[in-house]
Amino acid sequence: MSPEHRQIPEPGELVYPPRSSWVPAIFGFALALTVCGIFAEGFMVRGWVYSIIGGVVALFALRSMIKDATRSYFRLPRKQQVRGAVLPVEQISTPRS
């Protein structure tokens, strides 16, 4: 059977990728600022100020990520028609010599 004559039905499952966002990058930068603020001293202001600023920004970024994940979850359709794709049966034979 040639590949052009196969009729494979389309799969019924749908994939919903998440939207892109800058929030994880901001969260990572805020955590790095928090950790660096613990060890950094003397650049313009005290190190604990950097830690506090980084901690506050990290909390707001974490809240934003959780809110976005919850909103994306409830945006998904509740019911979906389940229909798996059936693969065609191929005959496997040994090569003739």
Residue 7: inside a domain: no
Token pair 């003739």 in the structure block, residue: 96
Sign of CA dihedral 55, 56, 59, 62: negative
Which residue range forms the structural domain that includes residue 54?
Answer: 22-75
Residue 82: inside a domain: no
Q: What share of the chain is helix, strand, coil (3-state, %, to 5)?
A: 50, 0, 50
Residue 35: inside a domain: yes
Confidence band for 25, pLDDT divided at 50, 70 and 90:
very high
CA atoms of 76 and 43, how far apart (whole Å): 48
CA atoms of 37 and 53, how far apart (whole Å): 9
- Min mean pLDDT across 21-25, 67-71, 73-77, 87-91 is at 87-91
Confidence band for 5, pLDDT divided at 50, 70 and 90:
low
Residue 57: inside a domain: yes
User: Domains in the chain: how many in total?
Assistant: 1
Reported pTM: 0.64
Residue 31: inside a domain: yes
State the average pLDDT over residues 84-95: 69
Residue 95: inside a domain: no
Residue 30: inside a domain: yes
Residue 65: inside a domain: yes
CA atoms of 39 and 24, how far apart (whole Å): 23
